[in-house]
Structure 1
Amino acid sequence: MKTLLYTLIFVFSITGLCAQELGLMSYNIRLATESDGENAWSKRKEFLKNQVLFYGPDVMGVQEALPEQMDYLNHNLTGYKHIGVGREGENQGEFSALFYNADKLEVLKSDTFWLSETPEVISTGWDAALPRICTYALFKDKTTQEKFYVFNTHFDHVGVEARKESAALILQKMTELNTENVAVFLTGDLNLEPDSDPIAVLKTKLFDTNELAPRGAFGPSGTFNGFKFDKPVIRRIDYIFQGKGNTSQVLKHAVLSDSKDLHYASDHLPVYVLIKLQS
């Protein structure tokens, strides 16, 4: 009887080590410009910070974050660290950075590449209007030792070819980097709606987590609100994808429409996914 009990305890402990809940968020925080008037960064940054801390994602990919916004989040998101560089190099231009729970997670490797024909150098790709980047990290859970990749990006808003080529490049980088075949996720503002060709390219290797939540996706159908609080949010251009090559399970998917005094924290709503992470 004791042998059976010890066996069950061992099995449950191993199961616990191989399954861990992981909260992921993708958030275009809208760049800091006072021309936004009542929606300027100075007026919404505290609410946005409090919103992130309330949901407490383990990893959050941000888009459009300028250096001053990165500084604010770095100093005010208690318990978080970040990785990434600006799209014009080092601390210049918009970041597609990753913030992560430093108490829970360790970064094993990380880097940024440009969405272009020359991804290792600062560059603008194909027919894009601006330089675009993808920042990634290989994380390890300090308790379970589980490893996983998160890639975070912001596709160009003009270049049709650039968006399709960017999708293919990210899939290529995932294949090259993920030699251990661990769980992999992609967060980002893709400036694309779900029925577009580049999304179809991504879905050859990735699942759209919006389609995997067992109880369906919670919240508005769209993610871009344009600061129009009185209009339905129906344009969906922000995503979290999961690689098809692992057994992690999507538990919940939500688009978060929190507001304060009839104002959103950004012109995009954040996407939040809860994952049962396992190898």
Structure 2
Amino acid sequence: MRKLFLLFLPLFAASCGQVKQQVSAPEPVNVMSFNIRYDNPEDSLDNWKYRKDRAANAIRFYDVDILGTQEVLHNQLEDLKQRLPEYGVIGVGREDGKEKGEYSALWYKKERFNLLDSGYFWLSETPEVAGSKGWDGACERIASWAKLQDKASGKEFFALNTHLDHVGVVARREGISLILDRINALSDGLPVIVTGDFNSEPESDVIKHVTDPSNPEHLTDARQASPIVYGPAWSFHDFGKIPYDKRPLIDYVFVRNRLKVLRYGVLAETEENAFLSDHAPILVTVE
């Protein structure tokens, strides 16, 4: 009997090892925040028609899994959908809740993620009213969100993308308070990823409110949490027109709930002095 047991022991060990190999460990997730600049005919050689292929190629080259885009007009959305068929997208035009105005479009890689739930709301006193403008804001502002499940690991994420007002001080402050409340209500304790153009620098009251550790709803700035930081300390350059030392950092990726930041980069690259946009994309890897 003892010989028989010893004979089968290696088979049991191999079987146990095989089971372990079938369990997929969570893979890192590449996250990008990218203000693509709206399709403005006055942009001359920086117009979208000259940039759309480069922008789409950058997204694919950096193997982005979750992508938050801002200032996306409907024709730009269609251009990106055509060039990035491997991505699903959530979002509506901010002016009418359909196709009018800019989208804060949230993209995810369909091959990697199941879309469990999604939605959007306006940054205003009436978040469910399409086209509503909030507080002292100059424009309608919107946030798009999704619950995603990694198909390989089964892990779930809550992702949100937004664009705060560029004029209204109250609109930025109240807008981020609304976003933090909605994240708390919608995320069900899942790991949280937030992308966006916040039109606020790191030392501003807005960003301090986002990252305030005394607030149980606070988020962590991926730049501050990353052991590797690549690129400049700014993101907005107006197609290179702003002097280098005057360029502000106003684009962010924030995280919460068990997400470890592995790397952070500002992609301030050019091709023959041509930029991807008037903003540099932010690329972050988390696990």
* Structure 1 residues 31-86: Cα deviation after superposition (integer angstroms, max 9, x where no partner): 00110011111111111111111112101000000000000001111311211101
Q: Does 1:119 align with 2:130?
A: no
Q: Does 1:163 align with 2:172?
A: yes
1:11-22 to 2 correspondence within 5 Å? 14=23, 16-17=24-25, 19-22=26-29
Q: Does 1:206 align with 2:195?
A: no
SS in structure 1 at match of 2:252? strand
- Distance in 2 separating the partners of 1:44 and 1:65: 13
- Distance in 1 separating the partners of 2:153 and 2:28: 11
1:187-202 to 2 correspondence within 5 Å? 187-202=195-210
Q: Does 1:92 align with 2:92?
A: no
Q: Which amino acid aligns with 1:250?
A: V
- 2:262 aligned partner: 251
Q: Is the 8 A contact 1:109 1:139 kept in 2?
A: yes
Q: Is the 8 A contact 1:61 1:97 kept in 2?
A: yes
Q: Normalising by the residue count of structure 2, what TM-score does the alignment of the two structures yield? A: 0.89
Runs of 5+ consecutive residues of structure 1 not aligned to the other structure = none
SS in structure 2 at match of 1:153? strand
- 1:36 aligned partner: 43
Aligned-residue offset at 1:232: 2.1
- Judge which range, 228-237 or 49-58, deviates more: 228-237
The runs of 4+ residues in structure 1 deviating greater than 4 Å are 1-14
Runs of 5+ consecutive residues of structure 2 not aligned to the other structure = 1-8, 213-217
- Distance in 1 separating the partners of 2:91 and 2:143: 9
* Structure 1 residues 132-170: Cα deviation after superposition (integer angstroms, max 9, x where no partner): 000000001111111001100000000001101111101
- Distance in 1 separating the partners of 2:40 and 2:113: 33
Q: Does 1:58 align with 2:65?
A: yes
- Distance in 2 separating the partners of 1:129 and 1:159: 6
1:72-151 to 2 correspondence within 5 Å? 72-88=79-95, 89-122=97-130, 123-151=132-160
Q: Percent identity?
A: 38
Flag the structure with larger Rg. Answer: 2
Q: Is the 8 A contact 1:60 1:100 kept in 2?
A: yes
SS in structure 2 at match of 1:134? strand
- 1:183 aligned partner: 191
Q: Is the 8 A contact 1:229 1:264 kept in 2?
A: no
Q: Does 1:225 align with 2:237?
A: yes
When the two chains are superposed, the root-mean-square deviation of aligned CA atoms in Å is: 1.7
Q: 1:193 to 1:46 in 2, by over 3 A?
A: same
- Distance in 2 separating the partners of 1:56 and 1:143: 17
Q: Which amino acid aligns with 1:221?
A: A
- 1:237 aligned partner: 250
